[in-house]
Amino acid sequence: MNRITEILGIRYPIIQAPMSWVTSAELVAAVSNAGGMGTLGPNAGQQSAPKDLSEHALRLKQEIVKTRQLTDQPFGLNYFTGPEGSETSPFSEHTLQVALEEKVDILVVVGAVNTAEIRKLKSLGFTVVFRELHPTFSGAQAAEQAGADIIVATGFDEGGSTPEIPLGTMTVVPMIVDAVKIPVMATGGIADKRGVNAAFALGAEGVYLGTRFIASDESPAHSQAKQDILRHGAEDLILVRTGRGGFWRATPHELAQTAKALSDTEINTSFAQLGNLKTAMLDGQLEEGINTVSSGIQFIDAIKPCRAIITELLEDWIKKNGSTANSDRSFVPAAQ
C-alpha cells in the first residue's frame, strides 16, 4: 500500500499543485476523477480579484460546491502559513473557516514552517500536506514533529516562486526523504514519466505537479499561456526576482525581460505597476505579465486531458502497483 494514496484516499500518488489563478473546479475535479488529488488554489475559478476577504470566502465556497458537483473524490484547499511565531493571516483565517464549514478535510499548506499553525490544523482534524517554500532539512523535521502528514520537497527546478537556496530536485528530494519518517512527495521540473520514475528512485512516494497541469484541456489558463509552454524549452526561460528571496522562472516576454534586471527592492516597489501572473496566465497578455513555469516545459509537447496526463506520468508506477485506492473511498472514472 502506498502511504500517499492511503493517507489521502486517492488512487494514484499525484497532487495537482494549488497554483494562483490557474486552478478551477473543472481542473480539480478532472485530476481527482482521474485518480489523483486536485487542489483549489488562490482565486480558483475567478476572473478578478475579490474586493475583500468576505468576497474571497464566498467565492471559495461557491468553487467548492461546484467541485463537488463534478467529483465525489478527495480534493484539497490551499492554506498559507507565515513564519514561526506569527499569527494566522486574515486570508488564511477565512480559508480555514470555509474549509471547516464545507468539510474539506485536506489542506495543502504552503509557506514557512509554523509549528503552532500545523498543530492547530491537526487539532481541527485536517490532513496536512506541507510544502515549505524554502525547504530545509530542519524545517521538514519540525513540520513532521508538529503533525504534518506528508511533506512536499521542492527543487529549484519548479515554476512559481523558487526556493531561496538553488538546490535542484535531485538533491532536495533525497535530502528531505532522509530527514523524516513520513512520506515525501517530489516537485520541481517533473513533467514526464522519466521525472516521475526518478522521483520514486530518490525515495519520494508521490509527485506534486503544477506546470504539467497548466498544459491540460481542463486548465483555466489562457490558450495563449498554454501554447507558450509548448513553444518554449528550458533554455529559453529567465529568472525574475520575486522580492522575497527567490525567483519567478518565466517565459521570455517583454515584462519578464524588463523585470529580469531589477533588484528585489525595485521589484517590491514597481512590480505591481509592471504586471502580474494573472495578466499573462489567465488573461493571455504574455508581454504584459509573467508566465511562470517549471524547467519541465522542455518535456511538454501537447495539451492533453488530465486523465491522459496522469496515465502517462504514472505509466510505470501503475504497471508495478496497480490501483491502491483506499477501500473506504469509491473511485469514479471521469466521464469520457
* CATH number for the domain that contains residue 124: 3.20.20.70
pLDDT at 264 exceeding the cut of 80: no
pLDDT at 303 exceeding the cut of 80: yes
Same-domain check for residues 105 and 205: yes
Same-domain check for residues 143 and 267: no
Same-domain check for residues 272 and 306: no
On average, the pLDDT of the chain sits at: 92
Q: State the Cα–Cα distance between residues 55 and 275, nearest whole angstrom.
A: 23
Same-domain check for residues 57 and 161: yes
CB atoms within 10 A of CB 13: 30
CB atoms within 10 A of CB 191: 26
Same-domain check for residues 205 and 228: no
Q: State the Cα–Cα distance between residues 250 and 183, nearest whole angstrom.
A: 30
**Residue 333, in any domain of the structure:** no
Length of the chain: 336
pLDDT per residue as tens digits for the range 29-60:
999 999 999 999 999 999 999 999 999 999 99
pLDDT at 273 exceeding the cut of 90: no
Same-domain check for residues 112 and 193: yes
**Residue 332, in any domain of the structure:** no
pLDDT at position 322? 78
pLDDT at position 323? 65
- Classify residue 304 by its DSSP letter: B
pTM here is 0.92
Same-domain check for residues 89 and 45: yes
φ/ψ of 211, rounded to 5, equals: -55, -40
State the amino acid at position 326 in one-letter form: N
Same-domain check for residues 250 and 145: no
- What range does the domain containing 78 cover? 3-220+301-321
**Residue 336, in any domain of the structure:** no
pLDDT per residue as tens digits for the range 123-143:
999 999 999 999 999 999 999
| Distance, CA of 227 to chain centre | 20
Half-sphere exposure of 49 (CA within 13 A, CB side): 7
User: Residue 88 corresponds to which cell in the numbers above?
Assistant: 494566522
Same-domain check for residues 189 and 107: yes
Q: Across residues 9-28, what is the average pLDDT? A: 97
pLDDT per residue as tens digits for the range 186-242:
999 999 999 999 999 999 999 999 999 999 999 999 999 999 999 999 999 999 888
Assign 330 a pLDDT band (cuts: 50, 70, 90).
very low
